Structure 1
Amino acid sequence: MSAPDFTAIPVLDLEQANTDKAAFLSQLQHALIHIGFFYVKGHKIAPSFLDSLTKQTIGYFDLSLDEKLKTDKIHSPTFLGYSVQGNEITKNKRDNREQFDFANELPATWTEGHHIHERLTGPNLWPHEDVLPGFRQSVLSFHQQAQDLAEMLTRLVAEALGLEPNALLDHYVLPGQQHRAKLIKYPAVDQLDPNDGTQGVGPHRDTASLLTLLYQANDLPGLQVQNHAGAWIDAPAIPNTFVVNIGTGLEYLVHNVAIATTHRVLNPPPGRGPRYSIPFFLGARLDKKLAPIDIPQRILDQRPQTVVTDSGHQFGRVYKSDPGLYAVLNRISSHRDVGAKFYAQLAKEHGIITSLPSVGY
């Protein structure tokens, strides 16, 4: 059946999962199948901690460019670290944002002959503690709290789709797997070159992941979600909530019943200053071919038949046969300087042009 077009993103209260679980799961099921996005409140991550994290985020981006470049992604094949404004590419256009990618701390273990996705794993690149005291501790604390929340939500997602709570466990729990997160700064339009456009990040779906949790750290517009008819719906910041959305990994595992909805971010309007956001990605396993799991027919019967999207699914065929290679190719395509330095031959084999597009597109 065709899903109704949504005009707003629902807010789900995790407290209700304890007091009226059936009602909560019904709301969650609708959000998963017909929207692909929802807010959660009652998540137990303290507002005071999130306020402190926001200050640390702003502090990082306020560092001098020379200081930030010491943690630039170009120093590591993991794609962890800093990206300057305009360096990431979505749909062959520059994204107008600075970002800092991080993950749970793990050592680099990849050697020649091992699967290429293992090269994505390695240590974070941190600014020196003297430069930004408490930054590393705050960021890693957020990562752990966000992962705990994402894993709890994944169990509820399974139940909402008629499965046992741990039905998805084997698809994201892997010893030694890194789950990634970002700190992001979107400059306001008046802080950009006129040729830069207003693409904070272009239309996309979150790849090779199960769930994304996004904390919108200040009250500025920008995040938009594409409904099934193709219209763009605003997802404004709501205090003390996370925005949750489905990744293509989960969509694939559940036979496209839960939708990895296309979304984008526009740069803030003139005079409003920069927008800050902090997403966490619960990644699907990369070490083995994934197979869709058994879903009850009553759930399959609700699968949307028509979903308009401005996002492609590049390397989609690769994902079904080799999720690890798929993840690497997507990172090369998005961060072409790192791809050119560490993965030039792989990029050439898959037709990825590692040069950046011109600024005035």
Structure 2
Amino acid sequence: MTQDIDFDSIPILDLAQAKADRPQFLSELQHALIHVGFFYIKGHQISADFLAKLTQTAVDFFDLPLDEKLSVDKIHSPTFLGYSTQGNELTKEKKDNREQYDFANELPELWSKGAPEYQRLTGPNLWPDLADFRPTILSFHEQALDLATELTHLVAEALDLPSDALDKYVLPGQQHRAKLIKYPARDQLDPDDGDQGVGAHRDTASLLTILYQATGHPGLQVQNHSGKWIDAPAIDGTFVVNIGTGLEYLVQGVAVATTHRVISPPPGSGPRYSVALFQGARLDRKLFPLEIPQHLLDKKPSAISDSGHQFAQVYAQNPGMYALLNRISSHRDVGIKHYPELAEQHGISAINSPLQ
């Protein structure tokens, strides 16, 4: 590993440049992949009008009465798709101050008795009774996944690989997860809740995350490789893109899954909303990393990280189990209800119990 060239801001890349001056775009992308792990992307085809509608859809959902949101609580499904109440999720044993609605491309239940248990993660969404909700968020899913697919082809080229080098790691027709997120401002929280919107983490078992920061609130922070937290403010017309641990593994650590977190919005500012899509690597078989050119392996960075790395040793051998264990540890009520034996095996006996 080399001494990293550290960053103090998040680079902005323009997809229009990928057509006008591809070598320059790929050079900038390579730098972002190796030395940052995050970048903004502009010049995409998702319209501002649509994103405004998506923002209002998220606000409308979270403004529903609690009993209506609880009707689609993820406790009702082993897929971990659906609603999570404020503070239900844990990161590094600490409550995350956010409400969420997890969704995916709509697929029927995949699992049947005797099949691997991780297949229970695939299944239909839980839909609230809210006008235009389903078509709007499924349209976002489709458009964001198209963007992620385009970017993975560019990522491969930027790492001196064929543009389709990562395609074999995505199963055609697989389910890719996404979520609507609401972070209450600090004056809307209990005084004991602290200011952790979501704790320091890396996105697990995925290739790329496409994040739309729907409101202008501060809060997203990225940890540079010397351990300093760098703000990633909302920038009009852009998405934030970051690397998941799946991609990092598949490219032998040359592209980094950088640690990040969200701090709760300041008092009086109102809630922060965001929408994220996680382009998943396939979960159905052991994965073997790509052959990366040596000149890029020589640039492999080292980094300080406040993120935990639970179950990391499982990923190479069994990506499906890795994804399932991470879900169970984050949403323990769902895990204990639907996967009691697996939860007990890994020391998860109650929603607030520490992992062993």
What SS does the corresponding residue of 1:256 show, helix, strand or coil?
Answer: coil
Correspondence for 1:37? 38
1:1-361 superposed matches below 5 A: 1-128=2-129, 132-172=130-170, 174-304=171-301, 306-356=302-352
* TM-score, normalised via structure 1 length: 0.97
The residue type paired with residue 35 of structure 1 is V
CA distance in 2 between counterparts of 1:291 and 1:354 reads: 35
| C-alpha deviation, 1:203, in angstroms | 0.2
CA offsets, 1:286-333, max 9 Å, x none?
0000111101111111111x2000001100111111000000000000
CA distance in 2 between counterparts of 1:316 and 1:231 reads: 24
The residue type paired with residue 312 of structure 2 is G
Contact 2:14 2:43 in 1 (8 A): yes
CA RMSD of aligned residues (A): 1.0
Contact 2:243 2:258 in 1 (8 A): yes
| C-alpha deviation, 1:357, in angstroms | 5.5
| C-alpha deviation, 1:115, in angstroms | 0.7
Structure 1 segments of 4+ aligned residues over 2 angstroms from their partners:
350-358
Task: Describe the shift of the 1:118–1:176 C-alpha distance in structure 2 as closer, same or farther (beyond 3 A).
Answer: farther
Task: Describe the shift of the 1:311–1:97 C-alpha distance in structure 2 as closer, same or farther (beyond 3 A).
Answer: same
CA offsets, 1:221-264, max 9 Å, x none?
01000000000000000011000000000000011000000000
What SS does the corresponding residue of 1:321 show, helix, strand or coil?
Answer: coil
| C-alpha deviation, 1:111, in angstroms | 1.6
Contact 2:218 2:233 in 1 (8 A): yes
The residue type paired with residue 160 of structure 2 is G
* TM-score, normalised via structure 2 length: 0.98
The residue type paired with residue 115 of structure 2 is H
Contact 1:37 1:246 in 2 (8 A): yes
Task: Describe the shift of the 1:213–1:315 C-alpha distance in structure 2 as closer, same or farther (beyond 3 A).
Answer: same
CA distance in 1 between counterparts of 2:30 and 2:176 reads: 25
Contact 1:110 1:118 in 2 (8 A): yes
Contact 1:339 1:354 in 2 (8 A): no
CA distance in 2 between counterparts of 1:177 and 1:348 reads: 29
Contact 2:182 2:274 in 1 (8 A): yes
Contact 1:347 1:354 in 2 (8 A): no
| C-alpha deviation, 1:20, in angstroms | 0.1
Contact 1:94 1:357 in 2 (8 A): no
Structure 2 alignment gaps of length 5 or more: none
CA distance in 2 between counterparts of 1:85 and 1:357 reads: 18
What SS does the corresponding residue of 2:310 show, helix, strand or coil?
Answer: coil
| C-alpha deviation, 1:96, in angstroms | 0.2
CA offsets, 1:107-165, max 9 Å, x none?
0121221011110000000112xxx2101000000000000000000000000000000
Contact 1:246 1:259 in 2 (8 A): yes
CA offsets, 1:143-200, max 9 Å, x none?
000000000000000000000000000101x134110000000000000000111100
Task: Describe the shift of the 1:347–1:357 C-alpha distance in structure 2 as closer, same or farther (beyond 3 A).
Answer: closer
The residue type paired with residue 311 of structure 1 is S
The residue type paired with residue 214 of structure 2 is A
Q: How many residues align?
A: 353
CA distance in 1 between counterparts of 2:348 and 2:310 reads: 11
CA distance in 1 between counterparts of 2:209 and 2:172 reads: 20
CA distance in 2 between counterparts of 1:41 and 1:300 reads: 28
Contact 1:93 1:357 in 2 (8 A): no
What SS does the corresponding residue of 1:212 show, helix, strand or coil?
Answer: strand
- What fraction of aligned residue pairs are identical, expressed as a percent? 67
